[in-house]
Structure 1
């Protein structure tokens, strides 16, 4: 498990030590949002290896999320790189999520910044139900290039604190 997979897993599972470390440079409002996940955490499980369809499964009440984690120094991820492996994996994740009615989440961690480093996205999909639909409608979608490949631009994502606030409002 990468350090970034572990970091997000621990944030969502309400690990106070990790949360305190990552919020030290944030304003008071965002600190309070992060602290609320300590009170109402997710059960988080790491998916086995890179052969799974996502890195983390997070469950809380009637919210289930499949989370694929990407960490880069660059602010843009082209899924067509790596001989299209990322594109194929995202398409497989979308297909499985549509069949099982689970919301796919893409978490993009920008390396080397002191402010909030995580941004959250989802992918265009159909047949979303209940609470997932409310989350889906508010989340930014991964872009699709003219060639049909996914592009994730960090600046277009939802801050993790906003995502946590959204989840806590349901």
Structure 2
């Protein structure tokens, strides 16, 4: 699958599309499956972003909205330094953009070739937004920053997407 395929997959999950939920929960535990399907009660309007400003999709709902940057890898760790610093700059721009507008920045990491819940959710370390977005920001794991200023996303340290959905749907 290509990067845009994973964006479409996440879009389908957050929109509560039954065909996507059935496909991605085939190898999930019963609890994970139940959490994924809870999005049907409060789905998002999700649109793919056209610009390359560090935002791939935007999820909109009456109580919470957030931009998402989608990453995928066969490796459990993604480092922004691996791409000539472009992704580090993208993360810094993402922080600035979200700080100015008071929205929650979200990173979604899809680990390829894994069974069960293959998505993990992160945010960036910044001043929390106000309201519900701030509460969610405080619960989400933050991308780690190296002494050289690069960002590291470790899949094992992320919040499972099923847990994120359960939290958003409660």
Same fold (TM over 0.5): yes
Q: Secondary structure at the match of 1:68?
A: strand
Counterpart of 1:27?
Answer: 29
TM-score, length of structure 1 as denominator length: 0.95
What's the Cα RMSD here?
Answer: 1.1
Counterpart of 1:38?
Answer: 40
Counterpart of 1:120?
Answer: 121
Contiguous gaps of at least 5 residues in structure 1: none
Dislocated runs of 4+, deviation >4 Å: none
Q: Which has the higher contact order (CA 8 A, sep 6+)?
A: 2
Is the contact between residue 44 and residue 61 of structure 2 (CA under 8 Å) also seen in structure 1? Answer: yes
Counterpart of 2:75?
Answer: 74
TM-score, length of structure 2 as denominator length: 0.95
Within 2, Cα distance between the matches of 1:17 and 1:109?
19
2:13 pairs with 1:11:
yes
Residues 122/91 of structure 1: CA separation in 2 closer, same or farther (3 Å cut): same
2:97 pairs with 1:105:
no
Q: Secondary structure at the match of 2:152?
A: strand
Within 1, Cα distance between the matches of 2:142 and 2:88?
15
